[in-house]
Structure 1
Amino acid sequence: MSLKNKDNHNRWRNKTVAFRVSPEEDEQIEIAVKLTGLTKQDYITRRLLCKDVVVQGNPRVYKALRNQLSAVLDELQRIEAGAGMNDELLDTICWIATIMDGMKEETHGD
């Protein structure tokens, strides 16, 4: 049996929601989760309820950004060699740009 837990409003989280995704969609979800630093449950819940997903910079987020930027560079080099670009890469680049822009604002706002 899984551990019982409560959300931020002290409500029991005892319902399970499950759905199927393609391998490509799963990869996109995993990338987004890693870039936000949230748990997958918190990320999906916030997105489904149309709440803001606020990224708090921490070592895990910085590592995920570094790894994704490296993967983006590899893809861009592949594209330069004549291969086509896919929508998932464009989504990842947009997520990284948004997060980096938010981090820049945080740094200048201090």
Structure 2
Amino acid sequence: MKMERVLDQQGRWRNKVVAFRMSPEEDEVLEAKVKLSGLTKQEYIIRRLTDREIIVVGNPRVYKALRDQMTLIYQELQRLAVGEEVPPDLLETLQMVALTLNGLKEECE
């Protein structure tokens, strides 16, 4: 069985593997950002590490990710006791959702 090369958009063969460890909390944040971007995890990480812009294009997958993230944020906020501080990861996710929604709103105007 011969494996075919899968090239990226610039015709490059991606044959290098990069692996690293993350905490479960860091993984949750990464997964949320990837889903909200509409990109694959690989493409999202490459763009972030190479300081390339990430442009979110509204599509059903992105809208579903936004809905799901807002549901999770709402559940977490309800779980917090009155006066309890909002965890930094939750604030970061909320900010990311707000920025994404804001960008999609501008796209529609």
Fold in common (TM above 0.5)? yes
Distance (Å, rounded) in 2 between the aligned partners of 1:2 and 1:18: 22
Match of 2:106 in 1: 105
TM-score of the pair, normalised by structure 2 = 0.91
Tell me how far 1:80 sits from its aligned partner: 4.7
Question: Do structure 1's residue 42 and structure 2's residue 43 form an aligned pair?
Answer: yes
**Structure 2: where are the runs of 5+ without partners?**
none
Tell me how far 1:7 sits from its aligned partner: 1.4
Opposite residue 88 of structure 1, the aligned amino acid is: D
Opposite residue 78 of structure 1, the aligned amino acid is: R
Tell me how far 1:84 sits from its aligned partner: 3.4
Distance (Å, rounded) in 2 between the aligned partners of 1:2 and 1:73: 46
Look up the SS of the partner of 2:9 in the other structure: coil
Match of 2:16 in 1: 15
Percent of residue pairs bearing the same amino acid type: 51
Look up the SS of the partner of 1:5 in the other structure: coil
Match of 1:31 in 2: 32
Match of 1:55 in 2: 56
Equivalent pairs, count: 108
TM-score of the pair, normalised by structure 1 = 0.90
Opposite residue 27 of structure 2, the aligned amino acid is: D
Look up the SS of the partner of 2:80 in the other structure: helix
Distance (Å, rounded) in 1 between the aligned partners of 2:61 and 2:108: 18
Instruction: Give a deviation string over 1:44-69, Cα, whole Å, max 9, x none.
Output: 00000011111111111100100100
Look up the SS of the partner of 1:6 in the other structure: coil
Tell me how far 1:79 sits from its aligned partner: 2.1
Greater shift in the superposed pair: 73-82 or 25-34: 73-82
Greater shift in the superposed pair: 3-12 or 68-77: 3-12
Distance (Å, rounded) in 2 between the aligned partners of 1:3 and 1:47: 27
Look up the SS of the partner of 2:19 in the other structure: coil
